[in-house]
Amino acid sequence: MPNFKRLVVSGDSWTYGSEIRDPKLPESVKDWDEPNDSYRLPKIWPTKLGNHIGVDDVVNLSYPAASNDRIVRNLVGWLTQDLLVLNVKIFTTETLITNLNIFGTRYGQCGSIAIPKSR
- Could you read off the pLDDT of 20-61 as tens digits, one per residue? 999 999 999 998 899 999 999 999 999 998 898 888 889 999
| Per-residue pLDDT, 34 | 92
Residue 88 CB partners (closer than 8 Å, separation 6+): 75, 79, 99, 100
Residue 29 DSSP label: S
Is residue 41 within 8 A of residue 47, CB to CB? The reply is yes
Pairing of strands 108-110, 113-115: antiparallel
What is the distance between the alpha carbons of residues 68 and 110, in angstroms, rounded to a whole number?
Answer: 10
pTM over 0.85: no
Cα-only R_g, the chain:
16
Query: SS3 of 98, please?
Result: strand
4-8, 9-13, 36-40, 72-76: which range is least confident on average? Answer: 4-8
How wide is the angle at C-alpha 43 spanned by C-alphas 74 and 23, nearest 5°?
110
Is residue 20 within 8 A of residue 1, CB to CB? The reply is no
